[in-house]
Amino acid sequence: MLRSLNQFIQEYERATNTHDFNQVRPLIKWDAVYFFSDGAFRGIEEIEAVFNRNWNTIQDETYRITDVEWLSYSDTMATCIYHYYWRGFFKGEVREGRGRGTNIMVKEDGKWKMIHEHLSPLPK
């Protein structure tokens, strides 16, 4: 089971790096809730809007997920924590950042889907 969960996280990272929400959409449940540093986003439409806004703000962004730790998992639900790293261009200058994330996945029709993501900066 951990193999399929790790594959899902890798696919989510790969899809995110395409900067094409049509690649990301199948991996997110329609009623998911995402928490980012600038707010809470409920449902696939709000999540799509914030992904597109972020991709338009940070050009050529590369996003990486590392140090994945599975806190709990079953045949139908899983929770993990991890570190993330991003790098891209903001107004023509290289910018980068890192933080930590929490994801909750549910299995729907035999496939894992993201139901919650919470990203935050590392503590100072």
pTM of this prediction? 0.95
Q: What is the pLDDT of residue 56?
A: 97
Q: Kindly list the structural domains of the chain, giving each domain's residue range(s) and its CATH number in brackets, ordered by start.
A: 2-121 (3.10.450.50)
pLDDT tens, position by position, 101-121 = 999 999 999 999 999 999 999
Alpha-carbon distance values, 113 to 49, 53, 61, 95, 123 (Å): 18, 22, 23, 30, 28
Cβ–Cβ contacts within 10 Å for residue 85, how many? 13
pLDDT tens, position by position, 72-100 = 999 999 999 999 999 999 999 999 999 99
